[in-house]
Structures are given as structure tokens and as C-alpha cells.
Amino acid sequence: MKKSFILLLLVCSFAMAEGWLTSLEEAQKEAMKTGKDIFIDFTGSDWCGWCIKLKQEVFDQEVWKKEAPQKYVLVEIDAPRKKVLPKEIAAYNRSLGEKFDVQGYPTICLLDKEGKIYAKTGYQKGGPEKYLEHLAELAKVKVQRDELLAKAMNGSPEEKIQNLNKALELIDQNEIGFAYVDLKESIVTLDAENQNKMNAKYSLELYRYYHEKKEKEADAALKEKYEAKCVLYMANLKKHSPVEAANLEVQLKLIGILKQYFQNRDWPGALKALQAVLEQKLEGEAAQQTYYLIGAVYYELKDLPKSIEHLEKSVEFAPETDLAMRMKMIVPALKKELEKQKNPGKEEKAEKAPEQPEQPEQPEHQHDENCDHDHE
């Protein structure tokens, strides 16, 4: 253990010579001394194209080297593929990636001097000057957050609820709500009877958060702790928003069906399980997702008429969702495919094959063209 600690210190010391630390703990000590924010670069230094571009276009430039260290304590957390890191360092880097919900590379996390994340970003065009301007804009989130939290601390219970909600909405816009679970739990407690509609809103978010942690957790004691949280927040939902609670339970069943049947391409089994879900009185997106999955199963079973019927039905339950928009494009293509099957002699000139109904996935971080994924 002592050897591992010394190794970590040696790596950190080497990184400091280059102006970058590789330990968040060391960065926090430096930030508390200097009052600077912390800048963490989660990178795949020897394989991620956008990470390499960001380093070449921004971090290696003299403007960055001169100005960035004046404002930030710089930290690099690497996930290389060719270079082999010591096991202790690799494990440490993975744990930080999990802590900050890193879904792709590069991911840049901005933290205040206390180590609380206030923004996430990635590659940006324009060189070091533009990048520093971009970071300055993100720093305004921290200022707004702190102003709202200060108002919450000094206001009435009603004002506290409203300002906490505004702060959380600001935070969620930056996809960092995972770091503010304590605030969400506070607002649920403050709005115990859901008079401000916040208990139901954040009970739903907290249920999803703890359910995901429970599913990933191997430790039995922690798993039990997360399960207790799930029970608490589901009870809140059933009390204050029974429709939302029912929809959530359906979505969890659908995720189970995806894992059990779709991943194994057991289409008859999937169809039977989905039809059992339909026996409930479904509304909104829960109904839409169920009909959509049934349509996808019928497509796999080569039954285009039933596939089209269920996909069209799925749109009716929530016509403004992204899924409904995709169905409005997919269904006409499927109808053309069906027409060709009925009239093979009237086949048109070569056309693009119709898009196959997608298999829904669990919600995940959204990436753009500037983001590399690590699928290992």
C-alpha cells in the first residue's frame, strides 16, 4: 500500500513539472491554497482523435500555457490504450471517470476550489483564446449557482424550495445533476406534501439515480442501502404522482425485457412479455415505448403489417416525443417495403432500404461529432 502511494506521488510530481497534476486530491489542496478552480481533462491521450486535437490546438499553445495556470489548477486523467499505466494509477483514473460520469473523451470537468463540479465540456474549435473565453462563460454557471444557493439559505421555506429548484435546473442543463444529490434530497424533504410539485419531480430523479447505482453495485450492504432509497422515492411517487409511478414501473419492466429477450434475440419470448405489459392501463410515453417495442419485434418476425400497426399506434400516445418523430419517418418507408412485397413486379428503381425500427436503449450521455467514445 505504501509502495502504491509513493508511486502515485511520483507520477503526480512528474505531471507537475509539465504544469499538470494527475491527482485530484493534490489539485484540491492547491486550489484551496490559491482559490483557483480545478480543470480536469479526461483524455485518451494515445488513441482519441479529438483529445489529441484539443491538446495540439489548445493545451500545447503558449497562450494556454501562460494564462490557464493563472486561473485553474490543471489535472489530466488519462485512459490510454497503447501506453500501460501502473495498475494503481489506472484504477484511480477509472474511479474518477465513474465519479464524474465520464461517457466519452475528451470530457472536461470544471470544479470550484472545494471540488464541486459546476460545468462539463469537451473539444471546442478556435484555439486557446476561444477556449479560454468558453471556460469564462461556463464560470458564470458557478456564480449563478452560488447566488441561488445563498438565497435558498437565507430565505423562507417557500423561497428555499424555489431557489433550490432554480439552482438544480441550472445544474441539470450542464448534465452534472449526479453531483448534487444532496440538494435534491433536501428539496424532497422540504416539499414533503408536494405542495410545490417538487417532491414528485425530484423523487423521480432520485429513484432513477439510486436504481442505477443499485444495479451496478457489487457490495451487498451498499446494494441494500440503495434499494431502501428506491423504496422511499417510489413511495413518494405513488403518493404524489401515481401516473408517473406507474409509468416508471413499466419502463423498468421494458428495460428488463430488453435485457432478457432483445439481447438474446428471443423474439417470441419478447412478444409474450410485452403483450403482458400491455394488459396494464398504459398512458403517455410508457404506452408509446411498449407499442414501439412490439412493432420492433414484429419487424424481426417478418410481420410487416403488424409492425406498422403497432408503430403507428405508438405515435398516438405521445406524438411530440423524439421517438414519435422517428416513427413518422420510419413508418412510410416500411409501408413502401410492404407494398413491394405485395407487388414484386412493380419494383421501383433501386432505393435506399427502409430504416429498421431501432431498439431503444437506456438513457445515456449524448455526444456530438466532437466526442470520441471508449467502447471497451
Q: Is 102 helix (H, G, I), strand (E, B) or coil?
A: coil
Query: In the structure grid, which three cell numbers stand for residue 104, read together?
Result: 466519452
Cβ-Cβ contacts under 8 Å for 65 (sequence gap 6 or more): 19, 59
pLDDT digits (tens, 9 = 90+) for 232-261: 999 999 999 998 999 899 999 999 999 999
Write down how long the chain is. 376
* CATH 1.25.40.10 domain position(s) in the chain: 250-341
Is 20's pLDDT higher than 80?
yes
The enclosing H or E element of 117 equals strand 117-121
Is 285's pLDDT higher than 80?
yes
Query: Can you name the residues that pair with 110 across neighbouring β-strands?
Result: 39, 119
pLDDT band at 105 (very low <50, low <70, confident <90, very high): very high
Q: Is 282 helix (H, G, I), strand (E, B) or coil?
A: coil
Cβ-Cβ contacts under 8 Å for 27 (sequence gap 6 or more): 21, 38, 40, 73, 74, 75
12-16, 148-152, 250-254: least confidently modelled range: 12-16
Give the separation between CA 223 and CA 215, rounded to whole angstroms.
Answer: 8
Q: Are 55 and 43 in contact (CB under 8 A)?
A: yes
Tell me the fold of 250-341. 1.25.40
- Of 132, 38, 135, which is closest to residue 77 (Cα–Cα)? 38
pLDDT band at 18 (very low <50, low <70, confident <90, very high): low
Q: In the chain, what percentage of residues exceed pLDDT 70?
A: 87
Is 367's pLDDT higher than 80?
no
pLDDT band at 8 (very low <50, low <70, confident <90, very high): low
Q: What is the mean pLDDT of residues 23-30?
A: 96
State residue 10's pLDDT score. Answer: 47
Q: What is the pTM of this model?
A: 0.76
Distances (CA, A) of 221 to 208, 209, 224, 228, 235: 19, 17, 5, 11, 21
Give the separation between CA 186 and CA 363, rounded to whole angstroms.
Answer: 25
pLDDT band at 117 (very low <50, low <70, confident <90, very high): very high
Tell me the fold of 12-138. Glutaredoxin (3.40.30)
Is 356's pLDDT higher than 60?
no
Question: How many beta carbons lie within 10 A of that of residue 356, not counting itself?
Answer: 13
Q: Which of the pair, 340 or 72, is modelled with greater confidence?
A: 72
